[in-house]
Amino acid sequence: MDHAPFIWTAYAASGLILLWTAIAPLLRQKRARRAIHLLDPGKPTNDSHS
């Protein structure tokens, strides 16, 4: 039995799950920053805190 498909699928699936878990809060943070900025539009947003 060729084991390569099992190995690569395991790494690809785990990698995607962990990648999404890392990226999801960053996308949510962008939306939150935009929403907070709308409440206080007088000042420019600065993404250095992200």
| Binding positions for another protein, rule: CB under 8 A | 1, 3-4, 6-7, 9-11, 13-14, 17-18, 20-22, 24-26, 28-29, 32-33, 35-37, 39-40, 43-46, 48-49
| Cβ 46 to another protein shortest distance, Å | 3
**Rounded to the nearest 5 degrees, what angle is found at the Cα of 43, between the Cα atoms of 38 and 46?**
90
Residue type at position 1: M
| Cβ 37 to another protein shortest distance, Å | 6
Name which of 33, 28, 27, 31 is nearest 47 in CA terms: 33
